[in-house]
Homo-oligomer: A and B are copies of this chain.
Amino acid sequence: MIRVLLVHEESLLRSVLAEWLRREPGLDVDDTPWWGAAARIRSLCPDVCAADLDCSDGHGVPPLGDLCPSGTGGPPALVVLAHASRPGLLKRAAEAGALGFVDKAGSPDRLVRAIRSVASRERFIDASLGFGFLKAAQMPLTRRELSVLSLAAAGASIAEIAGSLHLSHGTVRNYMASITRKTGARNRIDAIRISRGEGWV
């Protein structure tokens, strides 16, 4: 029996998907929204955690660290449901140690195959996500630029970003100009729109 914890933000779709997975022989399925996932992993100790990377408001970065809580006897094997068009989230999932990557543009049977693969600690990657991984590998922004961009995307002013990262106003402006150029954006707002759409901030 493979104990699976399904993490998805929206109750309606989550319960239908959990019910669908429960019909598969050999799967014991629980489900939770992102909020509360860490506590459920601690109490249930699932073998596999299958998490949809899209959060409830449709953007923003999911708290992937919650799926590897400390104090458990080894975290569950992680499968994520992802889009090729959001390389930032693919990269974050890879960095969080995900073993399985299922394309949300594909068939639900792939999710079952991915769960069985990662339960045996084998990688599972949908070929259709390849372009997303390529884009993730080509990400042009530095870690510092990403920090600046994340604060800007959350609505912080140049002064607030400067204060928060201990930089001068001019340096923050230079970072923003470099981010705008590297993302091929027309301006600062366009750079945020592009980066958010791709799941970088």
- Establish whether residues B105 and A12, one from each chain, have CB atoms under 8 Å apart when the complex forms: yes
The one of B102, B160, B196 that contacts A12, using a Cβ cutoff of 8 Å: B102
- Establish whether residues B11 and A105, one from each chain, have CB atoms under 8 Å apart when the complex forms: yes
In whole angstroms, how far apart are the Cα atoms of A90 and B100 in the complex?
Answer: 35
- Can you list 30 pairs linking A and B with CB atoms under 8 Å apart? A10-B105, A11-B104, A12-B81, A12-B108, A12-B110, A13-B13, A13-B16, A13-B104, A16-B16, A16-B17, A16-B20, A16-B108, A19-B20, A20-B20, A56-B85, A57-B58, A57-B83, A57-B197, A59-B59, A152-B189, A154-B193, A155-B185, A155-B186, A155-B189, A155-B190, A156-B186, A157-B187, A188-B189, A189-B189, A192-B192
Lowest 9 CB-CB distances: which A-B pairs, in order? A155-B190, A58-B58, A10-B104, A16-B20, A12-B104, A58-B59, A16-B108, A11-B105, A12-B108
